[in-house]
Structure 1
Amino acid sequence: MVSITETQKIGVGLTSFGLFFLLFGVLLYFDSVLLAFGNVLFLAGLAIIIGLRRTASFFFQKQKLRGSTFFLGGIALVLFRWPVIGMAVESYGFVLLFRSFFPVVFGFLSSLMNIPYFNVGNMSSMV
């Protein structure tokens, strides 16, 4: 089992609040203050979870520089009160940055379908 430190728990909380504020900012018609606050919390939480050095090395790898530029540029646009354009640019950068993680996430989500009571396709056998 993976042990998590108290500092990393704080980072998970900050990241969760960041994602909440991002979602809430989008639901409230791209409220720039909520989106900016969510971006700051998300990046702070990410830096606390994996550390400042590893965060910087992740964002500034040569092959991920284009995605980092779009992602951080989108955050800057949101901070400069261009929320719709900023979120579009940030989303494109997010996809470029984390596209190598998508197969892992989809594999995990497909493994959830093998858990009883989550398997929607096999509901007739439960009745």
Structure 2
Amino acid sequence: MDDLKQIGLGLTGFGVFFWLLGIILFFDKGLLAIGNILFISGVITTIGLKSSLEFFTKQSNFKGTVSFGTGFFFVIVGWPIIGMAAEAYGVIVLFSGFWPTVSVILQKIPVIGWCFQRSWFS
């Protein structure tokens, strides 16, 4: 893995961290907006600009892209609960195909990997 992909994964991780922090702190719109920006920039940095455009504009991902974009707009204008609900739906629709890969990676984590090796996660 080259340095650019590591930076992209770091940005994506920080984006998810700020999302969680924003939700824990009663849907703070500033933290949620920062999380959104870091998450999107991390995805683009990890897989590249051309691949990102192809991924987000693919016909099968159109519902997820529109939902995520609408949720981002609602977070920015000050309706973070509605925005995060729309974004959550968009993330599930967009990234649901990646669950098998994520599951294999999570099973290899030393401390918590045994939880993901159980039948209810497979």
Task: Give the TM-score normalised by structure 1.
Answer: 0.79
Number of the residue aligned with 1:23: 20
1:71-107 deviations in whole A, cap 9, x for unaligned? 121111111111000000000111111122224434x
Number of the residue aligned with 2:119: none
Which amino acid is 1:86 matched to? G
Q: For 2:74 and 2:111, how far apart are their aligned partners in 1?
A: 45
Aligned in 2, Cα 1:63/1:9: closer, same or farther, shift over 3 Å?
same
1:53 paired with 2:50, answer: yes
Aligned in 2, Cα 1:109/1:79: closer, same or farther, shift over 3 Å?
same
Larger radius of gyration: 1
CA contact (8 A) 2:107 2:114 kept: no
Which amino acid is 1:78 matched to? V
Aligned in 2, Cα 1:69/1:6: closer, same or farther, shift over 3 Å?
same
Residue number among 71, 74, 78 corresponding to 2:71 in the alignment: 74
> How far 1:58 sits from its partner (Å)?
0.4
Aligned in 2, Cα 1:116/1:98: closer, same or farther, shift over 3 Å?
closer
Q: Unaligned stretches of 5+ in structure 2? A: 116-122
Aligned in 2, Cα 1:5/1:87: closer, same or farther, shift over 3 Å?
same
Query: Following superposition of structure 1 onto structure 2, how do residues 1-127 of structure 1 map, counting pairs within 5 Å?
Result: 4-106=1-103, 108=104, 111=107, 119=114
Instruction: Decide which moves more: 93-102 or 21-30.
Output: 93-102
> How far 1:31 sits from its partner (Å)?
0.2
RMSD after superposition: 2.4
Q: Unaligned stretches of 5+ in structure 1? A: 121-127
3-state SS of the aligned residue for 2:36?
A: helix
Aligned in 2, Cα 1:110/1:50: closer, same or farther, shift over 3 Å?
closer
Query: In the comparison of the two structures, how many residue pairs are matched?
Result: 115
3-state SS of the aligned residue for 2:97?
A: coil
Which amino acid is 1:29 matched to? F
